[in-house]
């Protein structure tokens, strides 16, 4: 999570959406950087609302605009699958080295997910809160230039991004049956993504 106080702006770090590159590029420009532990770096909106937002409201009488990135749901799951397939994960409970992408996605669709498929939910991460706290600007991962333009304009800066934490490429096609199960089980993910301009 990055905070730009003067601009009243917060950039949430949704896992597997390329936000580490933004952290690196904007590290010197941000007023507050939550980079470690991962529970703070990748704090979802509900955690921001509970802990960070009240701090700015009570101490500074400031309301921040929250922005975030969302990745197309199948692509997002593919990124997790590839990340957990890297050699250093071999032998660990959350390794995907011994399962196909179809098997990974079906496991993700279970109500009780096994460790290797327990990767959270973008829709839950970004879910608006009962008190009105919500993501004001949501950008598609697949359209990075829109976010870059927004941040350069809002922060009066030039962004130079370098890819980081990139998993090895591989074909990640879902069978039609598994694709149908995913879209039915995780309809909220696809609905939110489709709502982004």
Q: Are the CB atoms for 125 and 14 separated by under 8 Å?
A: yes
Q: How confident is the model at residue 164 (pLDDT cuts 50, 70, 90)?
A: low
Does the structure show a pLDDT above 90 at 24?
Answer: yes
pLDDT at position 89:
87
Rounded to whole angstroms, how far apart are CA atoms 94 and 44?
Answer: 21
Q: Running DSSP on this structure, what letter comes out for residue 197?
A: -
Q: Are the CB atoms for 175 and 101 separated by under 8 Å?
A: no
Q: Are the CB atoms for 108 and 77 separated by under 8 Å?
A: yes
**CATH code of the domain covering residue 169:** 3.40.50
Length of the chain in terms of residues written? 197
Rounded to whole angstroms, how far apart are CA atoms 105 and 99?
Answer: 10
pLDDT cut 70: percent of the chain above it: 97
- In degrees, rounded to 5, the angle at the alpha carbon of residue 111 between the alpha carbons of residues 184 and 99 is 85
pLDDT at position 165:
66
Mean pLDDT of 158-163: 86
pLDDT tens, residue by residue, 136-145: 999 999 999 9
> Strands across the sheet with 137-140, in order?
32-33, 2-4, 9-11, 65-70, 137-140
* Domain with 125 in it: 2-194
Give how many domains the chain has, as a whole number.
Answer: 1
Mean of the per-residue pLDDT values for the chain? 94
């Amino acid at each position: 999570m990055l905070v730009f106080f003067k601009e009243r702006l917060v950039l949430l770090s949704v896992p597997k959406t390329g936000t580490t590159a933004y952290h690196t590029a904007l590290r010197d420009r941000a007023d507050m950087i939550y980079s470690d532990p991962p529970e703070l770096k990748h704090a979802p909106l509900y955690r921001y609302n509970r802990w960070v937002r009240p701090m700015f409201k009570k101490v500074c009488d400031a309301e921040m605009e929250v922005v975030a990135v969302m990745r197309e749901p199948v692509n997002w799951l593919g990124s997790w699958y590839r990340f957990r397939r890297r050699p250093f994960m071999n032998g660990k409970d959350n390794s995907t080295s011994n399962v196909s992408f179809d098997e990974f996605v079906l496991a993700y669709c279970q109500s009780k997910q096994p460790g290797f498929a327990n990767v959270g939910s973008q829709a839950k991460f970004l879910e608006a809160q009962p008190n009105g706290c919500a993501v004001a600007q949501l950008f598609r991962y697949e359209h990075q230039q829109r976010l870059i333009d927004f941040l350069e304009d809002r922060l009066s800066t030039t962004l130079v991004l370098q890819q980081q934490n990139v998993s090895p490429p591989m074909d990640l096609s879902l069978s039609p049956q598994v694709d149908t199960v995913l879209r039915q089980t995780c309809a909220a993910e696809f609905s939110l993504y489709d709502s982004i301009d």
